[in-house]
């Protein structure tokens, strides 16, 4: 579980996060939504430890990040997996090399043990015959699956995803969403996803937080988001005609 | 003020490069890869330029020796001195600042733009050590490339002098051996090692701390080349004054 306690983050005069407090539970897919410039990416980078908040703190399963020594912070980092928006695969390495990289860096496993683990996670993300291909030789959807495989290869406690569906066709996007949800439940990890994709919200949003101007505007589940009367949330989530109709149908069904 | 901040950031970067080392098993393969990319892949252009510059130095010297009292073997002497003292260590380093420097900036800059450096950081890898340290170690082999440049430059001078009919082979060799000071070779290699460090680190700095997209990667490469060249020229003056002055 991750507890976020009243974090503030500024860059120069720009006050990006103005006091966000929330919790992300274990074994659940937690979604962060909000308009561009609302502070989602900065918030996610604070969760990853890439940005240090000026005020407030982040607690990972009872451990306050700010209180950890450098070695403890490094150990905590190794318990985190991250799927970047553009996959961020290493161009110079094959798919197998990319997934094996964290194992080579941080474990003392033999080559065959590492290979077995890589085969297992690549199989888990349904990538069987891509071991020796380079990232430039595979599709965007496959790159995302490799990124997920790399993120889970160390059995992380926390999985962070930044726009995992961006640039993917709707069908592949759903496959990626389902894969993330399945992995979250299977490995019992705390997953936090930064997304703009309302399909993801409806599909896998077990907990959703809505950021607006650096503040937590709303939080709830995917069912609660249908019923909310928060104007900022409804304007954002139901900005398209399709989702307006979906909401109307849901409300009619409930009545 | 910005320049001072950049110098400070550069110093901090250098300190970080030597902290928290990457596993030797991984570092070893990275160093071999960088030796191949930075040194071996540059030998072709170094040999090509060295040969023709050495040849031109010999021809220019010969054409300017109009006084019959000055011995022709001065052509060999002038070629040796020019090539060993300045051409090979300094001129080739400026060419390497363009070739190797732009490669370093663009490769690290592209990793920054595509979030690969963020990926390393999130995993808990010291990205500066992982990316820059192997380049610094690989560039320790740069004096070997400069030794080849010296040899080929003098060989080019010999070819142009002898086959151009400016002097005999014996005269050229006599000139090469005249007033030879072994310390000049040491001076050239001290310069080369310092320039190697500059060529490995300044482009890395510009690539690592760049922000933006593909256009900014190009701009960072250009800026890195300009600053690497400026630093090489200034250090060349300081080192010459300190070691030979």
- Tell me the per-residue pLDDT of B51-102, one tens digit each, with 9 for 90 and over: 999 999 999 999 998 888 889 999 999 999 999 999 999 999 999 999 999 9
Per-residue pLDDT of A195-229, as tens digits, reads: 888 888 888 889 999 999 999 999 998 888 878 88
Q: Tell me if B123 and A105 make a contact (CB, 8 A cut-off).
A: yes
Q: How far is B133 from chain A (nearest CA, A)?
A: 16
CATH 3.40.50.300, chain A: domain bounds: 1-79+157-226
Q: From the list A82, A90, A104, which residue is nearest B122 (CB)?
A: A82
Does A74 touch chain B if contact means CB atoms closer than 8 Å?
yes
Give whole-number Cα distances, A237 to A204, A224, B154, in Å. 15, 12, 73
Residues 6+ apart with CB under 8 A from B55: B156, B157, B159, B160
Determine which of A95-109, A117-131, B177-191 has the lowest per-residue pLDDT on average.
Answer: A117-131
The nearest alpha carbon in chain B to A106 belongs to: B23
Partnered with residue A24 across adjacent β-strands are A2
At A201 the pLDDT is 84
Which pLDDT value is given to residue B1? 66
> Which of B22, B23, B119 is facing A88, going by the closest CB pair?
B119
Residue A80 touches chain B, beta carbons under 8 Å: yes
d(CA A25, CA A189): 9
Q: Give contacts of B114 with chain A, Cβ < 8 Å.
A: 86, 88, 91
Average pLDDT of span A76-89: 90
On the question of pLDDT at B105 being above 70, the answer is: yes
CA-closest candidate to residue A190, choices A156, A145, A144, A149: A156
pTM: 0.87
Tell which residue, B225, B205, B214, B201, has the closest CA to residue B110: B214
Q: Which residue of B has its CA nearest to A152?
A: B123
Q: Over chain A, what is the mean pLDDT?
A: 89
Show me where the domains of chain B are located: 23-244
DSSP B40: G
SS3 at position B84:
helix
Q: Residues 188 to 247 of A: which have CB under 8 A from any B CB?
A: none
CA distance A131 to chain B (A): 19
CB of B179 within 8 A of CB of B71? no
Which DSSP symbol is given to B66? -
Residue A242 pLDDT greater than 80, yes or no: no
> What is d(CA B28, CA B22) in angstroms, rounded to the nearest whole number?
10
User: 3-state secondary structure string, chain A?
Assistant: CEEEEEEEEEECCEEEEEEEEEEECCCCEEEEECCCCCCHHHHHHHHCCCCCCCEEEEEECCEEHHHCCHHHHHHHHCCEEEECCCCCCCCCCCHHHHHHHHHHHHCCCCHHHHHHHHHHHHHHCCCCCCCCCCHHHCCHHHHHHHHHHHHHCCCCCEEEEECCCCCCCHHHHHHHHHHHHHHHHHHCCEEEEECCCHHHHHHHCCEEEEEECCEEEEEECHHHHHHCCCHHHHHHHCCCHHHHHHHHHHHHHHC
For range B143-157, the mean pLDDT: 97
- What does the block give as tokens for B209? 């701390």
pLDDT at A74: 83
Q: Is pLDDT larger for residue A163 or for residue B46?
A: B46
Query: Which of A48, A75, A91 is closest, CB to CB, to B122?
Result: A48
Contact B124 A90 (CB under 8 A): no
A102 and chain B: CB distance < 8 Å anywhere?
A: yes
User: Tokens standing for A192?
Assistant: 């936090």
Cα distance between residue A194 and residue A180, in whole Å:
13
Average pLDDT of span B225-233: 97
Q: Cα(A46)–Cα(A40) distance, rounded to whole angstroms?
A: 10
Q: Taking residues B237-242, report their average pLDDT.
A: 96
In chain B, residues with a C-beta closer than 8 Å to the C-beta of A50 are: 118, 121-122
Query: Which of A82, A103, A167 to mutate: most B Cβ within 10 Å?
Result: A82
Question: Are the beta carbons of A21 and A216 closer than 8 angstroms?
Answer: yes
Q: How many helices (DSSP H) and strands (DSSP E) are in chain B?
A: 11, 0
Chain A: residue whose CA lies nearest to B24: A105
Would you say A94 and A132 are in contact if contact means Cβ atoms under 8 Å apart? yes
Higher pLDDT, B86 or A240: B86
Q: Examine the pLDDT at B2 and tell me if it is beyond 90.
A: no
Q: What is the mean pLDDT of residues A178-203?
A: 88
The residue in chain B having the minimum alpha-carbon distance to the alpha carbon of residue A76 is B124
CATH superfamily of A1-79+157-226: P-loop containing nucleotide triphosphate hydrolases (3.40.50.300)
Pairwise CB contact (< 8 Å): B25 & A104 = yes
Q: Which chain A residue lies closest to B116 (C-alpha atoms)? A: A88
Interface test with A, best of B123, B211, B213 (most A CBs within 10 A): B123
Confidence of residue A171 (pLDDT cuts 50, 70, 90): confident
Residue A23 near residue A135 (C-beta atoms within 8 A)? no
Least confident among A16-30, A241-255, B228-242: A241-255
In whole angstroms, give the CA distance from residue A229 to residue B78.
87
Mean pLDDT of chain B: 94
* Residue A110 banded pLDDT, cuts 50, 70, 90: very high
Q: What is the SS3 assignment for B185?
A: helix
Whether A134 contacts chain B with CB within 8 A: no
Contact, B157 vs B59, CB < 8 A?
no
Which chain A residues have a beta carbon less than 8 Å from that of B118? Answer: 50, 82, 84, 88
Of A78, A86, A101, the CB nearest to B114: A86
CB contacts of A85 in chain B (<8 Å) are 115
Cα separation, B178 vs B174, in Å, equals 6
Other beta carbons within 10 angstroms of residue A132's beta carbon come to 10
- Helix B182-208 and helix B2-17, axial crossing angle in degrees, nearest 10: 100
Q: Do A86 and B23 touch (CB under 8 A)?
A: no
B interface residues, A as partner, C-beta within 8 Å: 22-23, 25-26, 110, 114-116, 118-119, 121-125
Q: Given CB atoms, is A71 within the 8 Å cutoff of chain B?
A: no
Contact (CB, 8 A) for A99 and A149: yes
**Nearest Cβ partner for B125 among A82, A84, A105:** A105
Q: Are A204 and A177 in contact (CB under 8 A)?
A: yes
Q: What is the mean predicted confidence (pLDDT) over B12-39?
A: 93
């Amino acid at each position: 579980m991750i507890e976020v306690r009243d974090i503030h983050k500024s860059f120069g005069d720009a006050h990006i996060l103005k006091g966000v407090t929330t919790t992300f539970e274990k074994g659940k897919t937690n979604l962060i939504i909000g308009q561009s410039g609302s502070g989602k990416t900065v918030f996610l980078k604070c969760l990853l430890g890439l940005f240090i908040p000026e005020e407030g703190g982040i607690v990972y399963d009872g451990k306050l990040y700010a209180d950890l020594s450098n070695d403890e912070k490094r150990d905590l980092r190794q318990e985190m997996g991250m799927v970047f928006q553009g996959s961020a695969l290493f161009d110079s390495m094959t798919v197998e090399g990319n997934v094996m990289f964290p194992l080579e860096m941080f474990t003392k496993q033999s080559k065959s043990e590492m290979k077995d683990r890589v085969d297992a996670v690549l199989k888990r993300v349904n990538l069987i015959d891509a071991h020796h291909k380079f990232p430039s030789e595979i599709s965007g959807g496959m790159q995302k699956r490799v990124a997920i495989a790399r993120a889970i290869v160390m059995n992380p406690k926390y999985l962070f995803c930044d726009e995992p569906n961006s640039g993917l066709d709707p069908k592949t996007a759903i496959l990626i969403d389902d894969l993330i949800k399945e992995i979250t439940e299977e490995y019992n990890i705390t997953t936090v996803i930064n997304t703009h994709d309302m399909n993801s919200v409806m599909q896998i949003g077990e907990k959703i937080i809505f950021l607006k101007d650096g503040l937590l505007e709303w939080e709830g589940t995917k069912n609660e988001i249908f019923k909310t009367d928060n104007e900022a949330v409804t304007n954002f989530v139901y900005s398209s005609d399709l989702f307006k109709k979906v909401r109307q149908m849901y409300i009619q069904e409930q009545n | 003020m910005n320049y001072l901040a950049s110098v400070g950031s550069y110093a901090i970067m250098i300190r970080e490069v030597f902290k928290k080392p990457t596993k030797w098993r991984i570092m070893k393969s990275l160093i071999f890869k960088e030796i191949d990319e930075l040194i071996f892949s540059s030998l072709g252009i170094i040999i090509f330029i060295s040969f023709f510059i050495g040849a031109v130095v010999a021809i220019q010297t010969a054409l300017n020796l109009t006084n019959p009292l000055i011995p022709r073997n001065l052509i060999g002497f002038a070629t040796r001195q020019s090539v060993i003292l300045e051409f090979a260590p300094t001129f080739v380093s400026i060419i390497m600042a363009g070739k190797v420097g732009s490669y370093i900036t663009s490769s690290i800059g592209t990793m920054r733009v595509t979030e690969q450096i963020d990926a390393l950081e999130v995993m808990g890898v010291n990205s500066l050590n992982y990316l820059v340290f192997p380049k610094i170690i690989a560039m320790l082999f740069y004096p070997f490339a400069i030794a080849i440049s010296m040899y080929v430059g003098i060989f080019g001078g010999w070819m142009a002098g002898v086959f151009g009919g400016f002097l005999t082979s014996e005269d050229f060799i006599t000139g090469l051996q005249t007033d030879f000071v072994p310390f000049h070779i040491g001076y050239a290699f001290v310069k080369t090692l310092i320039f190697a460090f500059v060529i490995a680190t300044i482009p890395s700095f510009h690539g690592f701390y760049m922000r933006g997209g593909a256009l900014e990667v190009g701009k960072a490469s250009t800026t890195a080349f300009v600053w690497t060249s400026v630093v090489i020229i200034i250090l060349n003056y300081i080192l010459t004054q300190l070691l030979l002055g």
